[in-house]
Structure 1
């Protein structure tokens, strides 16, 4: 058992680099999807309700609720509204930023200064994303009525959107681990 524990302990640096690769993969994939209409439409409730990001759109919440495109379906009047709202333009920019942070995280394997910056950026991005739990009504199950003696809506009942957002706490923690590891490597290299 001691050998196995020792073996695992010796792989810590490789596991941190695997964490960097995992963060890169998620950011490159999710950021890349921001170039597609269905993904851009899907982030509208989060952005429109965010006090930090809503200024990117030209329309105010909750107007977007009338122009939702179901995944896999395109309604032209909804697309026209999203074009006026700058939904797609913002999504392209956000996607480029997310992909860029992901590449910085990956480069952190070889360049600790870039790794430190990317860890801080990952942490900050995740804080903004987690704030959607407070600002976006769609993150909790709505009260749709029903005959249950104890209704299952509101806090703590996360909707699909809320379950998507809460997972960003893992990215928040990963950003801190990446930043701390990069800082440690920088200190070691300065000591020579």
Structure 2
């Protein structure tokens, strides 16, 4: 056997042995992302930043007191403070909803991480992550701010994503990882029966 073939076999066998560690790494990645992003929901700039997504969503807009188009007059740049706009967001339930969403997101991350030791708990957590990620991806259909607007350059609309759209599309990767982890939890639960 040639040295090259031995090296290729070694690399393939080593890579194949990493599957279990890789699945745990996905769990840890989901945990980090969800705890971090969920924690940010307690900061005003993050709560204000998600308003276009929530206000335009047929699944979530009822959490807000104001109708969808109105928020456009009360947008703030990240880090900006304007008392009138801040009061509008308070009246809209922007901050209250964001805090509740943050708790939910962090909980999903913790439950997913616990799947390393408790597959039933992980199955629930990763199932919730999967559902939430589908909800997030629905913003590509419901939120006008995810597509570059027609401002005269001729470059606008699908497939040209804005910063908000690029933020959302990354959830495809989280969804794929969550499905792998969900399947792993299900396999481990079935093995114990």
Q: TM-score range by the shorter chain?
A: over 0.9
Say which of 19, 39, 42 aligns to 1:12.
Answer: 19
Aligned-partner Cα distance in 2 for 1:74–1:114: 41
Alpha carbons 1:41, 1:82 under 8 Å: kept? yes
| Alignment partner of 1:117 is 2:124 | yes
Alpha carbons 1:118, 1:175 under 8 Å: kept? no
Deviation of 1:73 after TM superposition, in Å, equals 1.0
Q: C-alpha offsets along residues 52-87 of structure 1, whole Å, 9 cap, x if unaligned?
A: 000000000110000011111111101000000000
Deviation of 1:7 after TM superposition, in Å, equals 1.1
Could you tell me which residue of structure 1 aligns to residue 181 of structure 2?
178
Deviation of 1:182 after TM superposition, in Å, equals 0.3
- The size of the alignment, in residue pairs, is 186
Could you tell me which residue of structure 1 aligns to residue 59 of structure 2?
52
| Alignment partner of 1:28 is 2:35 | yes
| Alignment partner of 1:134 is 2:141 | yes
- TM (norm. structure 2) is 0.95
Say which of 100, 104, 108 aligns to 2:115.
Answer: 108
Q: For residue 114 of structure 1, give the secondary structure of its aligned residue in structure 2.
A: helix
Could you tell me which residue of structure 2 aligns to residue 161 of structure 1?
164
- Structure 2 stretches lacking a partner, 5+ long: 1-7
Aligned-partner Cα distance in 1 for 2:132–2:177: 12
Deviation of 1:188 after TM superposition, in Å, equals 1.3
- 4+ residue runs over 2 A deviation: none
Q: C-alpha offsets along residues 93-145 of structure 1, whole Å, 9 cap, x if unaligned?
A: 00000000000010000000011111211110000000000000000000011
Name whichever of 110-119 and 28-37 sits farther off. Answer: 110-119
Question: What is the RMSD computed on CA atoms of the aligned residues?
Answer: 0.7
Alpha carbons 1:119, 1:177 under 8 Å: kept? no
Deviation of 1:167 after TM superposition, in Å, equals 0.4
Could you tell me which residue of structure 2 aligns to residue 67 of structure 1?
74
Q: C-alpha offsets along residues 23-74 of structure 1, whole Å, 9 cap, x if unaligned?
A: 0000000000000000000000000000000000000011000001111111
Q: For residue 153 of structure 1, give the secondary structure of its aligned residue in structure 2.
A: coil
